Amino acid sequence: MAKPKPYDLVGGIMDYEAGGLGVSGVLALFSHLIETGKAWTLQGSYGRTAQTLITMGYLDQNGKILKGE
Protein backbone atom coordinates (compact mmCIF):
# COMPACT_ATOMS: atom_id res chain seq x y z
CA MET A 1 0.00 0.00 0.00
CA ALA A 2 1.39 3.40 -0.98
CA LYS A 3 2.06 6.00 1.67
CA PRO A 4 -0.09 9.13 1.42
CA LYS A 5 1.74 12.05 -0.14
CA PRO A 6 2.73 14.63 2.50
CA TYR A 7 1.10 18.05 2.31
CA ASP A 8 3.20 20.58 0.37
CA LEU A 9 3.19 23.32 3.01
CA VAL A 10 5.52 25.73 1.22
CA GLY A 11 3.62 25.35 -2.05
CA GLY A 12 0.31 25.78 -0.24
CA ILE A 13 1.44 28.96 1.47
CA MET A 14 2.88 30.36 -1.78
CA ASP A 15 -0.36 29.62 -3.63
CA TYR A 16 -2.40 31.15 -0.78
CA GLU A 17 -0.28 34.31 -0.72
CA ALA A 18 -0.62 34.62 -4.51
CA GLY A 19 -4.41 34.21 -4.32
CA GLY A 20 -4.24 30.98 -6.28
CA LEU A 21 -6.24 28.73 -3.95
CA GLY A 22 -9.96 28.12 -4.17
CA VAL A 23 -12.11 27.49 -1.13
CA SER A 24 -11.17 23.82 -0.92
CA GLY A 25 -7.47 24.69 -1.19
CA VAL A 26 -7.72 27.30 1.58
CA LEU A 27 -9.54 24.82 3.81
CA ALA A 28 -6.93 22.14 3.12
CA LEU A 29 -4.10 24.57 3.92
CA PHE A 30 -5.61 25.83 7.14
CA SER A 31 -6.65 22.32 8.15
CA HIS A 32 -3.00 21.32 7.88
CA LEU A 33 -1.79 24.45 9.68
CA ILE A 34 -4.16 23.84 12.60
CA GLU A 35 -3.40 20.09 12.78
CA THR A 36 0.33 20.77 12.99
CA GLY A 37 0.04 23.83 15.25
CA LYS A 38 1.76 26.03 12.66
CA ALA A 39 -1.29 28.30 12.35
CA TRP A 40 -0.41 29.72 15.75
CA THR A 41 3.32 30.24 15.05
CA LEU A 42 3.26 31.88 11.61
CA GLN A 43 2.57 35.61 11.18
CA GLY A 44 -0.58 36.79 12.89
CA SER A 45 -2.87 36.80 9.87
CA TYR A 46 -2.61 33.00 9.64
CA GLY A 47 -3.74 32.54 13.23
CA ARG A 48 -6.56 35.04 12.79
CA THR A 49 -7.74 33.36 9.59
CA ALA A 50 -7.56 29.93 11.23
CA GLN A 51 -9.61 31.18 14.17
CA THR A 52 -12.17 32.75 11.82
CA LEU A 53 -12.54 29.46 9.92
CA ILE A 54 -13.08 27.67 13.23
CA THR A 55 -15.58 30.26 14.48
CA MET A 56 -17.51 30.12 11.20
CA GLY A 57 -17.74 26.33 11.44
CA TYR A 58 -15.58 25.41 8.45
CA LEU A 59 -12.93 23.70 10.59
CA ASP A 60 -12.93 22.28 14.09
CA GLN A 61 -10.33 23.04 16.78
CA ASN A 62 -8.24 20.07 15.57
CA GLY A 63 -8.27 21.16 11.93
CA LYS A 64 -10.89 18.71 10.65
CA ILE A 65 -12.82 20.15 7.71
CA LEU A 66 -16.49 20.34 8.71
CA LYS A 67 -17.98 21.96 5.62
CA GLY A 68 -16.75 23.09 2.23
CA GLU A 69 -17.88 25.54 -0.38
* pLDDT per position as a tens digit, 23-64: 999 999 999 999 999 999 999 999 999 999 999 999 999 999
**Coil, strand or helix at 9:** helix
Q: What integer pLDDT is reported at residue 3 of this predicted model? A: 77
Q: In this predicted structure, what is the pLDDT of residue 1?
A: 67
- Entry pTM: 0.90
Dist CA 20 CA 67 (whole Å): 20
Three-state SS for 59?
strand
Residue 6 pLDDT > 70: yes
pLDDT at 69 over 70: no
